[in-house]
Structure 1
Amino acid sequence: MKKLYWMIGMVLVIGLVMTATFMQGKNVASVNGEKISEDELHELLVSQYGSEVLETLITEKMIKQEMKKEKVEVSKAELEEEMNAYMESYGGEEAFQEILANNGVEMSTIEKNIENYVATKKLIEPRIKITDDELLAYFEENKDSYAQAEQIQASHILVEDEETAKEVRKKLEAGEDFGKLASEYSTDVSNSETGGDLGFFGRGEMVQTFEEAAFTLEIGEISAPVKTDYGYHIIKVVEKKEAKEAVYEEVKQEIKETLFDSKLETEYATWLDEKFEEYEIKNDLKS
């Protein structure tokens, strides 16, 4: 239910089918003068995607009717929260908008799909029960994934050659500002304007020589030039987080959300089957 690309894909297919339906009788293309008509396009789209698209539309109708019957509403705040979560999962609003633009999909259409998702979630939620025993069992089975590994936050200045690296190092020893020098010298454009900040990272996330040097530094300490395949780095450690075992109470809510999402997916299929049996549905496409 949370597969955004699936939703976008279905929106595009529905759009193609609806466009073809309303424009039958016209020609859409030709090959060496031999025309391809809208009727041919419509027939192909309906034969390949018609059943799936129609089932999606039927499901949407049932959800709307269930919302009315159960007095379920989706608030603007709930819609915005879910939309923000979607955009964040795809790299933020800018990246999200680019996906929509590349697929020719309007934001309002995605908002409608998300509203249907939130409404369905509300309709099914009362059917889902999660016990304390389930939460604890999941924690014990996945404890390592909730533990915090040793991490450091570091900044770096990346230059192409050793001579430049030594020049930068001397300026740092003379008291010049690390962030200012990163902006001036660093070839890593992804973070040069933010003082070379790499954020927090653990072992195994950086190239070995860089990692070995970074993890030996104390907070505030600046390394000698470190050579990697990318060039020469001057590294400064900003903060450290020690390794920490997982604490059940600290991750209990996160586990609950994980189990809820898993059960929601299963329960949705059951709920939908029940509604298809309960509702009087006439599908002329199957006639």
Structure 2
Amino acid sequence: MKRKPKPFLIAAAVLLVTNIITLFLWLKPDASPGVGGISAGSEIVATVGGDSVSREDWLYALEQKYGEQELKQLVNQKVIEKAAKKYNVSISDKEVDQEFDLIRSAYNSFDEEFTADEETVKAQIRTDLLLEELLTKDVEVSEEDMKNFYTQNEEMYSIPKMFNLKQIKVKDKSDAGQVIKELENGSSFDVLAMERSTDDGSANLGGDIGYVPADGELLSPEAVKVLESTKEGKWSQPVKSGSDYVIYLLKDTVKERQYSYKDVKDQIRRQLAMEQVETPLTPEAFWDEAEVEWFYGTEQ
């Protein structure tokens, strides 16, 4: 299946924003004093010999490295919201869900970058689509051009059958049998994946490998057959994979789908219109209009 460039860009943006936000929220000192009356800002997070590194020092270093980037993201979010309201531009939930499905089908399931929660990803998608709609609201694209684009790129709007999976990979059948026994005795799949799986990448994520195409290279015909007979929310019997054995947890299944021209017409219009726009394709195009003033001075 042909990969879609645009979804990868959105997914990368989602990852960057999500990771930075998560890091700042995690490190943000509480307003109240910490244990024993010590403020969270003076909490020691590391020591090197007799020297210490405080939480405040750590947060300051992060602000210096990521602060401007994160603040700009927050400002851009507000700018887009205000511009969308001013020009009566909106994006439906259906469009967001559709874009999410296409991203999900294009993204490499073994990359942990796409493990941000669904609502976070969809919120960023809505923002991106609103910006595209704002930048192209006055651009005309002919019906003929849109239909031709769809005909020439129909495979871009198809979604293969996919399994949303977690896995525990072990070296032999005996180990696989032991894992099954522990699962039957009530052990957590996530914990067992972290403790027992030989696949370090997914083990660190509780075995999560995301959405895997049924017709791709990552699943053998035997694995697909086993998964098709596995109930959602349940684990599979061990499946031989090369010299290893894998136990899967089936979270859910996505059915194969081909989006019609009508389904993706608005998306195609935006894509073709964006190619005609001379204005920089960023929210900063609306900063002057929104009268933005910020900590880092005037936006160039």
Question: TM-score normalized by structure 2?
Answer: 0.45
Structure showing the higher helix proportion among its residues: 1
Larger-gyration structure (1/2)? 1
